[in-house]
Structure 1
Amino acid sequence: MAHTHEIEEDSIALDSKVAEKIPEYKSDQLAFTSSVEEGSTDEYDLKARNIAGFDPNAPTGDDPIDTKDDKYAVETELEDSPYPEVRAAVPNVDDSSMPVNTIRMWVLGLILSTVGSSLNMFFSMHSPAFTLTPFVVSIIAWPLGRAWDLIMPDISIFGLKLKDGRFNVKEHAMITVMSNVSFGGGAAYSTDIFLSMTQYYDIHFGWGFMIVTTIATQCIGFSVGGLFRRILVYPGSMIWPSNLVTATFLTNIHKNDNFPVSGWKISRLRLFNIIFGCGFLYYWFPGYLAQFLSYFGWITWIRPNNVVLNQVFGVATGMGLMPITFDWNQIAGYIGSPLVPPFFATANIALSMLIIFWIIVPAVHFTNTWYGKYLPMSDSSTYDRYQSSYNVSRILNADLTFNEDAYKDYSPLFMSTTFAMSYGLSFASITATVMHTALFHGKEIMFYWKKSRNAKPDIHMKLMSKYKETPDWWFGVVFLVVLALSIVSVRVWDTDLPVWALILALILAFVMTAPIGTIQAITNLQVGLNVLTEFIVGYMLPGRPIAMMLFKTFGYITMSQALYFVSDMKLGHYMKVPPRTMFWGQCICTIWTSIVQVATMQWALGSITDVCSSTQPSHFTCPNAKVFFNASVIWGVIGPQRIFSHGMIYYGLLFFFVAGFVLPIITWLIVKWKPKSIAKYINWPVFFTGTGLIPPATPYNYASFCLVGFFFNYYLKRKYFAWWAKYNYTISAGLDIGLAAGSLLVFLTTALTNTDAPSWWGNNVLNTVDYNGEAIQVLVSEEQPFFGPTSW
C-alpha cells in the first residue's frame, strides 16, 4: 500500500479540498496502490472504461476528439470514479425515474429471502454443511421478475401499481440486498447457541428467548452499521471490492452494451453465461466424479504413507507446497474470489502465508514445539494427550460445571500447529488493526465523521444526492429498541450474562466497527472479533459457557453484521437505490427472516429423528453447533487461563498481541522517514488476518488463491487493462455462481440421498496420510501411553 504518495503525485487521491483540511493526508490504501503503481496517464484518463457500456477504445480525455462523433464527445466529458476498479464495474450514470419501492420488489424479495434463509438454516444442520449464497437468489430473481412482467395484470392496489414498468436493475439490486442481509453469512449465528443449549447442555428457554435473541443479535448490527455509513459508505475511497462483482453481474443482465477490447468482441453477458454454464457442469468432476482434480496433491500419491512428505506437500492437512488444483472451490471456497481483492491485499496475504505457514509453522511443528509431532500439522479439531479428540464430558460435573480434579486426571487441551498459530494471528490482528487504522487512517476517519456532508462528493455521491437521506435518528431508534430486546434476552432468562457484560460486548463491537470496516472496505478482508471476545469473557466470567456464547455473539456478530449491512448500503449506493428504501428493505427483511430461521430450526428438531446425533442416518449432525459447543467448553469452562497463561503450553501466543501493536508503529515510522521504501506496501492487519481461515483452509488453498490473483489483478491488469476492465468481474461472477449452482446440485443429489462418490482410482487415490490427518509419531500404549507434560 502506498502510504506516502503526496496528493500532487497521486492521480487518484481524494479531492484537493478534502486534502487541504488534512494537511498531512497521504493517499495510502485509499488510493489502491496496485492501481497507482501500474497506472499510466492513459489508464486514469480512460473515462469510458466502465460497465455502463461505453467503448473502452474510445478517445481519452487527453486525446483529440472528432467533434462529429457526438457519442465520444459526450462520454469523455462525463465525470467518473478515480478508481479503475470502480470504473470497471459501476455505471457512472443514473436513471432516477426507475421505480424501486414496488410491490414486485417486496413480494419477490420477501419470498426469496424466506426460502433462502429457511434452506440455509436447514442445510447448516447437515454434515457437510452447505451455504446458499445470495448470488443464487440473484439468478432466480431475474426470470421471476420477467415472468411477473408477463403474467401480472396492469392494475393498481391501494394506489400502488402491480406492474410498475419493466423489472429493473434497482429492484434486482434491492432483492439481492434483502437476501444478503437474511442469509448472506449463512444461518443466524444465534441458532448455534440454541442448538448447543438444547442438544448438548439440555437447557430449554423456549420460543420467546430464541426469537427475541435472534432479532436482537441480527438487528443491532443494522443500527450500528447505519450510524457508521458516513465514513464507510459515503467516501468514494471506501471501495468494498466484493460489491464490484455483484454490480457487474446485475449490470450485465440488465444492460448488455458491447464494445470490442483487445480483439475480444464477446459481450459480458454472453461470456458470463458461458462461464456460468461450464462451471456448473464441470463441478461434477472435482466435486463428485473425479475428486483428485480438487485435491491435486500428486506428490503425496507417490508415497501415500510417508507422513513427513505428506505434511510438506499435503493439500488437506499439510503445507501444500505444490499448489495445483483444477477446482474453483479450492481456490475461492474459503477465501472468496481472488479476482476481487486489489493486488496489494493479495500480495500481503501471500507474504503472510510464506512467512507464517511455509517457514514458521514447519519450524515449530518439526521441532516438536507444542508437541506437534503427535498431531496433524493443520487441523481444526482439539485433542487430548492420548491422540484422541478431546472428550469434554470427562471434565464436566453433572451440572455441566468445570471439574478441576477430573481435568487434572484427564488431559490438557492440544491443538494442531496451524490451529494454535491461528489464535496467535487473531490476537495480533486486533492490535494491528487498531494501530494501523489510527496511524494511517485516523485523520480521514475523523474528517468524514465530522464533515462528510460538506466534503466534495465523488460522482456516485453526487448521483445519490437527489434522493432523500435516511435520518440518523431512524437508526438510533432501532438501536434503542434492539438494545432493550438484548437486555430482555439476558435478564428474563437465566443466561448468566450480566447486563454490564452485555454493554461491554456492544462497546467493543462499536469501537471496532470503524477500523475493521475501513480495512474490509479497502482489502475485502474482515478482521474477526470471535477469538478476542472468547478470550475476554473466558477471563472475565470463567465457568459460564452460556454467558460465553452470548458475549461472543453480541461482541463479534454485532460488528460483523454491521459491516454486512454497510457493505449492502454501499451496493445500494453503487446501484443508486434510494437510501430510505434501502433502510426499510434491510430492517423488515432482517426481522422477518430471524423468525423464519427459528421456526425452521424448531421444525427440524421436531421432525428429524436423532437430529444432532453423530449417528444420524441422513447426516443431520449439526456440525456448526458441535464446534460452537466445544468452543463454549474450551473458553467458557476450561478457560483461557488454563491454555494461555504463564506456564501453559500456548503461553507464547500472547506475545502476538505485542507484535500486532508494535509492527504498525515501526512501519509507520519507516514510511515517515523514507516515503518510497518498500514498507509502504506492508499492511499488517491484512498480513495477520488474510490467512486467518487456516484451518480449516490450508496453505494449499491460499497459495492457489494468490497465484490466480496475481495473474488477473497484476499481470492482466497491467498488460491488458481494457480487457481486464471489461471482463474481470464478469469472469469472477460466472465462476462464483457456477460453483454455487453446481455444488448445490451435487449436494442435493448426493448428500441428501446418501449417495457415495464412485469408487475408482480418481477418488481412491486421495486415501493418504495427508487426507486422513495422521501424525508423525503414533503412541504405542505399552511403551508410551500418552504425550505432553506430566502435570498441568
Structure 2
Amino acid sequence: MGFDLDILDEEDSPYPEVRSSVSNVDDPEMPALTLRMWIIGLTLCMASSAMNVFFNFRFPAPTVVPLVLLLVSYPLGKMLAFSMPIRTYRLRIPVPVVKSRLHIRLTTLTYELSLNPGPWNIKEHVLVYIMANVSVGPPYALNALVVSEYYYGIHHGFWFNLVLVLGTQLTGFGLAGLCRRFLVWPASMVWPQNLVACTLLNTLHAEEDAEWGTRAVSRYRFYVVASVAAFFFYFLPDFLFQALSIFSWITWIAPKNVVVNQLFGVSSGLGMSVLTFDWTEIGYIGSPLMVPWWAEVHVFGGFVLFYWILTPILYYTNVWQLSYFPMSANYPYDRFGKVYNVSRILDSSNRFDAAKYEAYSPLYLPGTYAITYLLAFALSTCVIVHTLLYHGHSLLNGLKKIKVEKDDIHAKLMRNYPEVPDWWYMAFFAVFFSMAIVAAEVWHTEVPVWALLLAVALPIVYILPSGFIYAMTGQGITLNLVAQIIPGTLLPGNPLANMVFKAYSVQTLTEATNFVQDLKLGHYVKVPPRATFLVQSLATILAAFVQVGVKQWMFSNIHDICQSTQKSKLTCPHNQVFFTASVIWGLIGPNRQFGKTSIYHPQLYAIIIGALLPIPAWLWQRRHPNSWLKMVSTPVILNGVSFIPPATGINYSSWFLTGFIFQYLIRRRNFGWWSKFNYVTSAALDSGTVLSLIFIFFTLQFPKGGNISLNWWGNNVFKNTSDTNRTPFRKAPLTGLPW
C-alpha cells in the first residue's frame, strides 16, 4: 500500500512521484529570510486573510487561495529584486556575556542585512507560499464567535475573540512540530499536494529545459499555455454553457421521472451521469493528477459500494424513512418532508424548548447524509486500529527517538541546517492551550477545563492517523461529527460549550495537518527548519489579529449583516449552517438523535464494526505477504467519501476517470511525459481555473448584484427537473410521519 517504489541510487528519492517534482540538490548559501520576503509575505498575508474573512460572510463569493498568492508573489519578488538597492548594512548588537558570577562583559555581535541579496529565489518564494497557506483560511473559531454573538446574544468582546482564535490556530502548530519524525522526515510520507507546489515553484525558478523557438516543449512553456487555456475554457461551464458543469444529461431527457433524477441527477441525486467538464467539480475532492492511483481506486471503490449500491437499496426500501426525503442533501428535514426549521424549537431567547420540539418534529437525515454519518462512526475507530496495526512499529521507534526510516537524499541535505528543538513546539502548545483555559475561565463561558482537555485530546489521538492518510492520499480526516457528539452528550443544552469544544478539536487537527504539510514542503525545498518555524508562527499570529479585527469592524459597522435582505449579500451562509449544527448537537443533542428510541440508534454499532474492519486484511497479509490484500486500506475507503454531501457521483466519477487517464494510462505508457508534465498540468489547471473564477466573479457576477447572465437553453436545461426541485420518492403525509 503506497506509492510505487523504485530501487535507485541513494542520491535521489525512491519514489518516482517525488523525483519528477522535487529537486535533489541544494544550495545552503541561498538566502531565505530576506527583507523582500518579509515585505511580500506579510503584505499578502494581511491582505488575503482580510479579504477571505470579508468574503466568508458573503454568498456567492470568491476565495483567495494560496496558489493565487504563489503566482502573484513571483512577479512581485522579481520586481523587488530589480528595484531595491544592492546594499548591505552591518548591524552591531551589544550582547552581555557572563564570565562568572562577578564578571559580566559586553561583546558585540555583527549582523549583516542585505536589502537585495540577488535574484528572487525559490526559498524566499516558498516561505511566502507557506505564509499564505497558514493565513488565508478564515479561522473555524470565527463561526463559533459569530453564532454566539449574533444568534445567542452572548458577547465577550474583542479580547475573548482574539484569545480564542489564537488558541485554536496555534495549539495545532505545537502539535505539528512534535510529529515531524513520523510525518515529515520519512521519505514514505510523500504529501502529494506538495508535489504540485514543488513542480510549479521549480517551473518558475529553474532554468529553461528548452528554449522558446525550439521544437522541444519546456515545463514553463507548457504551464503558460495550459493555464491560459484553462482560464478561457472555464468561461464555458461557469458562465456561457453552465450545463457543461452540471452535466446530468439523462435528467434532461426525463426531467419529471423521479427515479431517473434521483439516480442520475447532480443537485439532489447520486450523479450516475458520470461526466462534468468543470475543473472545479472534477477537482472538488482534490486534484486527480495529484492523488496516487491506488488511493483513487480505494476512494472510487468505496464510493460505488456505499453510495451507488448501498444508498439506493436503503432508500427504496425506506430504511430510516429515507424515501420521504431527497436522495441527497446537505441539511436535515422534518417529519413533513420539509427542510428542518430550527426556529420552531427555540424560544424567544434562542434556547431549546422541549415542548415545541415534541409538538414539531424529530430531525431526519436524507439518504447520503445518513450514510455519511454511518461511515464517520466507522472511521472514528477504524483509522486508529489501522494505524496501530500497520504503523505501530514505526510509532514505537519514533517515541524511542529511533529513526523511523532510512534517510533519503532530502533528509540528508536538511542536515546542513539546525533543526527546531522539540521544546520550542512544546512551549507553543503549552502557551496557546493555556489561552484556551484563560478564554474559558476568565470570560465565564461555562466550558469546564476538563472539556477543553478532552477537546485537545481528540486531535492528539488523531493527528498521526490523519497525517498518515493525508501524507499518502492528499485527503485528511475531519473530526466534525465526533467533536459535536461528545460535548453534546457530556454538556447537553449548552450550545456555546459545544461550539467551543468543536472549534478546538476540529481546528487543532486541521491546523496541525496543514502545518505538517508546510513543514514537508520546506523539507522538499531545503528551507532551514527554523526559518519555516518563524514564518509559520508569525504569519498565523498576524493573520489572527487581522481576521478578528475585520470581523469586529464588520459587525460594528454593517447593521444588517447576516440578514437575508442585506444589500451586499453579506448573509453569513457558513454561520447559518454552524448555528443549525449548534442547535442540533448542542440543544437537541445526540441522545435524542442517536439514543435508544431513535431510528438512527443502530448507526452507533458502526463504531464497533469500524474497529474490526482492518483486522482481517492485516491478518491475511501477514500470512500471505504477496497477496493483493496488502494494498487494501480500509480508512482510505471510508474517509475518501467524506465529501458527500455536497459532493455527488459526478464529482467522484469524473475525478476517477481523469485519474485513470493520467495516473494509470499515461503513467504506464509514457512515463517520460508523465514525469515531466503531470504535476505541471495539475498546477496549470488549478491556477488558470481559479484566476478565471475570480475574474468572472468580479466582472460578471459582482456587478449589478449578479444579474449579468445569459438566458438560454444551455444555462437553463438542468434547472427545471425533479433533481433540481429535490423531489423525494414518497410524499410525506400532511399530518407528518408518525414518531
Q: Taking structure 1 as the reference length, what is the TM-score of the superposition?
A: 0.88
Which of 732, 740, 761 aligns to 2:713? It is 761
Are 1:162 and 2:112 an aligned pair? no
Distance in 2 of aligned mates of 1:152 and 1:128: 40
Determine the structure 2 residue equivalent to 1:389: 339
Gaps of 5+ in 1: 2-28, 37-42, 48-77
Write out aligned runs for 1:4-403 (5 A): 29=2, 32=3, 35-36=4-5, 45=8, 79-156=11-88, 158=91, 159-183=112-136, 186-258=137-209, 265-332=216-283, 334-403=284-353
What is the deviation of 1:609?
4.6
The secondary structure found in structure 2 opposite 1:394 is helix
Q: Please give the per-residue CA displacement for 1:5-42, whole angstroms capped at 9, x wherever unaligned.
A: xxxxxxxxxxxxxxxxxxxxxxxx3xx2xx25xxxxxx
What is the deviation of 1:373?
2.0
Are 1:470 and 2:420 an aligned pair? yes
Give the direction of change, closer, same or farther, for the CA distance of 1:384–1:430 in structure 2 (3 Å limit).
same
What is the deviation of 1:699?
1.5
Distance in 1 of aligned mates of 2:414 and 2:571: 47
Distance in 2 of aligned mates of 1:124 and 1:468: 39
Write out aligned runs for 1:575-724 (5 A): 575-724=525-674
What is the deviation of 1:44?
5.1
RMSD: 1.7
Distance in 2 of aligned mates of 1:604 and 1:362: 45
Amino acid at match of 2:18: V
Contact 1:304–1:310 (Cα < 8 Å) also in 2: yes
What is the deviation of 1:654?
1.2
Q: Please give the per-residue CA displacement for 1:536-587, whole angstroms capped at 9, x wherever unaligned.
A: 1111111110100111111121111111000000000000000011111000
Contact 1:426–1:528 (Cα < 8 Å) also in 2: no
Amino acid at match of 1:693: F
Distance in 2 of aligned mates of 1:453 and 1:439: 19
Are 1:408 and 2:358 an aligned pair? yes
Distance in 1 of aligned mates of 2:121 and 2:37: 10
Q: Please give the per-residue CA displacement for 1:652-695, whole angstroms capped at 9, x wherever unaligned.
A: 21122122111101111121232233322221111111010100
Distance in 2 of aligned mates of 1:211 and 1:173: 28
Amino acid at match of 1:634: I
Contact 1:80–1:459 (Cα < 8 Å) also in 2: yes
Q: Please give the per-residue CA displacement for 1:309-355, whole angstroms capped at 9, x wherever unaligned.
A: 111111222111121111101100x2110111111110000111110
Contact 1:44–1:84 (Cα < 8 Å) also in 2: no
Distance in 2 of aligned mates of 1:460 and 1:446: 23
Amino acid at match of 2:725: N
Q: Taking structure 2 as the reference length, what is the TM-score of the superposition?
A: 0.94
What is the deviation of 1:294?
0.5
Amino acid at match of 2:122: V
What is the deviation of 1:113?
0.8
Distance in 2 of aligned mates of 1:734 and 1:455: 34
Distance in 2 of aligned mates of 1:273 and 1:256: 15
Which of 717, 734, 737 aligns to 1:785? It is 734
What is the deviation of 1:428?
1.2
Q: Please give the per-residue CA displacement for 1:498-531, whole angstroms capped at 9, x wherever unaligned.
A: 0111011111211211121111111111111111
Determine the structure 2 residue equivalent to 1:58: none
Determine the structure 1 residue equivalent to 2:510: 560
Contact 1:231–1:452 (Cα < 8 Å) also in 2: no
Write out aligned runs for 1:493-532 (5 A): 493-532=443-482
The alignment covers a number of residue pairs equal to 713
Distance in 2 of aligned mates of 1:335 and 1:129: 20
Contact 2:141–2:507 (Cα < 8 Å) also in 1: no
Distance in 2 of aligned mates of 1:326 and 1:400: 44
Distance in 2 of aligned mates of 1:609 and 1:400: 20
Amino acid at match of 2:127: M
Distance in 2 of aligned mates of 1:751 and 1:605: 25
Distance in 2 of aligned mates of 1:131 and 1:581: 27
Gaps of 5+ in 2: 92-111
Contact 2:342–2:583 (Cα < 8 Å) also in 1: yes
What is the deviation of 1:302?
1.0
Distance in 1 of aligned mates of 2:23 and 2:532: 19
Q: Relative to structure 2, which stretch is displaced further, 742-751 or 712-721? A: 742-751
Distance in 1 of aligned mates of 2:266 and 2:7: 41
Distance in 2 of aligned mates of 1:481 and 1:511: 20
Distance in 2 of aligned mates of 1:363 and 1:494: 49
Which of 441, 449, 457 aligns to 2:391? It is 441
Determine the structure 2 residue equivalent to 1:4: none
Which of 398, 409, 417 aligns to 1:459? It is 409
Contact 2:286–2:475 (Cα < 8 Å) also in 1: no
The secondary structure found in structure 2 opposite 1:474 is helix
Give the direction of change, closer, same or farther, for the CA distance of 1:575–1:464 in structure 2 (3 Å limit).
same
Contact 2:151–2:350 (Cα < 8 Å) also in 1: no
Determine the structure 1 residue equivalent to 2:678: 728
Give the direction of change, closer, same or farther, for the CA distance of 1:455–1:434 in structure 2 (3 Å limit).
closer
Which of 480, 499, 518 aligns to 1:549? It is 499
Give the direction of change, closer, same or farther, for the CA distance of 1:448–1:109 in structure 2 (3 Å limit).
same
Contact 1:256–1:268 (Cα < 8 Å) also in 2: no
Q: Relative to structure 2, which stretch is displaced further, 665-674 or 403-412? A: 665-674
